[in-house]
Structure 1
Amino acid sequence: MCTTAPATALLVLEAITAVVVAWRVAYHVRIGSHWRRTTLHLVLLLACIGRLVFWLGLREDDDTTAAHGFAIGLGLLCVAWAATYVCVTEVVVQWSTALAAGRVSHGQPACANVGAHSLVALNALHAMTLVVCPILLPRNASRVETLRFLDAHSAAVRSIAIVHIATGVANAIATTVVGAQLQGRVGASTLRHKDRSQRMTVLFTLSLVLALGLDLGFLLTLAVRSSADALVCASHAIPMIFVSGLLVTTTFLYLMRRLLPKTPARLVTSPIETARCDAGSSQCYLSGRQTSNILHSYALEDDAAPSPPPIAIMGHPTAIFMSDVRRGHVV
């Protein structure tokens, strides 16, 4: 028998995480935040609840309350994975949109975002595949009964695992590429404290990639084992699930911490080339082409002066992690 002692501690930690996410959901509902942001926080809360039920099902076999809840917990863990990947995809899409804003404005083809659209389609397929897992699994089955069921339907389990692993690899690659490009855009910008912004961008990228890597490492280990018992019998695999979910949850909450304004963010068109000054003149002008640098977007504050109609980027500010970009600090 494999030990599930860590499940009790992880159950408490997951409950704390779920309470924090629920508080953020209530906060965004109370302030009337954008419906998309509120919905994404609800998706994140769904992931926490799914893992919470999974930890309940992993309690000791002599606990009669959890003895027949393992199948339900396993099915909701699959739903939690789908919800987590939705949140990761949202971050990648926002970063990709930020990078594409300037390129599209200069006549680049609109297909520059084909990669992001493909990623969304792949994650939609992934979500639809994993959401049906609670329906396919037997109800009120113990751990042993559930694992026997998985062994008897190894082909279906392998197909679902392939979809999940392929989506995880695609998300990891997209996060790495887009994060590296965004880090370069921050370095080329005129933001104040851009060194800190670059470090934060690297930190966010590494956090998401590490979370996906832990998830994939756990599933690949499961795939090469001949028995589905590997799903729970490796004690180190249990913390891997928790750490992966915690990294995504923490990163997502930090990126989405900014208060959304009633109107969308305003894009400040700013050049990234060097400035030239005429002799005897106090005025300087910037050489090079103008680019709509999304890194110079900022949320209009309540006491801001009236401004021209804002340019909406997917309905809300895309530079969601630039806490150092403040009104009056934009060059």
Structure 2
Amino acid sequence: MSDVLKFRSATEVEEEAARWIWRLDDEDAPVEVRNDFEQWLRRDQRHRRAFEELGGVWRSLDDLAEAKREERVATFVAEEKRLYTVAKPTLTRGWLRQAAPWAMAASLAIAVGVVSWFQRGNEAQTLSTAVGQQRSAMLADGSTVQLNTNTILETRFNRERRVVVLRKGEASFNVARNPERPFLVHAGDMVVRAVGTEFNVRVRDTRDIEVIVTEGKVTVGPQGEGGARIASGDGPEPALPARRELAAGQRLETTAAAVPVVAISPVVLSNTLAWREGAIVFDGEPLGQAIAELNRYSDTRLIIIDSSIHDLRVGGRFRTGDIDGFLEALTKAFPVTTRRTSDNLVYIQARVPASSALQ
């Protein structure tokens, strides 16, 4: 067969749904935009499903004043009820009314869910990735996050603050600016505080945290400063004894004795964050360090069994999880051999010279 049907990814559909939410949020959106939106909804059942899911997040309306918030929720509930008694709805002001065609297909449970959200005043969400997986998501406040391999994070947003708990793994944040609601990322013993900026956080363990700022500024301090401690259990004092401020192009690692804030070059920054493009870049790292990084992205484990090759310096750009590509390049560049077992283990050792093998 020569014809291949290519299905669009869920991410593409979600991105389109997010763009429609932004366009329909404009009360002055022309009729043509709303007509195009209705056609988009009818084109694919996944469109309607994605719009309803993202719309449920957007309707948190967290930044509206209390009176305005209650008015919009009441309007939405009234509109939902009307849709079940009027044969042909008319478009009126406000994006919640402009979206009436998609609301017709939803049950009144959507409206009840919106009211319940405001009654709670707090929204929790858990995001995660499996080994080798990356994903992006829009948070309830409009911020975006990219999760790297094997990551778990939780969000706890309310009217006063936006709290993210990075349980494990690595995540990159692009924070929607709101000075009145600080954005706090709890990671191990540390808490990163931002308002509107871009930064990356990696948790190796409770006391081994890396923070890199790509835009704007953040402060990093021990948990308990300016808020309750998130991590559970008693333990040693935090690795970071005092608050630090980081600007764009700076990195902080809590494993260093003095926990310094250091500047990193654009090349190092690009290499370190290459995972956001689905890549791993090595530029002179020891083989042992490169192996540890590759093992994050695959269920196949690479194991060095010959200490003499542990410090070989390696370089190159590889797709995350491309174990075979890395091993092929490694065996071509260095005198090493690999042996793969049936239980997803690959052993790496120095190549034995032919003359030695014959003795």
Which TM-score band applies after superposition, normalised by the shorter structure? Answer: under 0.3
Find the structure with the greater CA-based Rg: 2
The TM-score with structure 2 as length reference comes to 0.23
Structure with greater proportional strand content: 2
Structure with greater proportional helix content: 1
Higher RCO, Cα 8 Å, sep 6+: 1
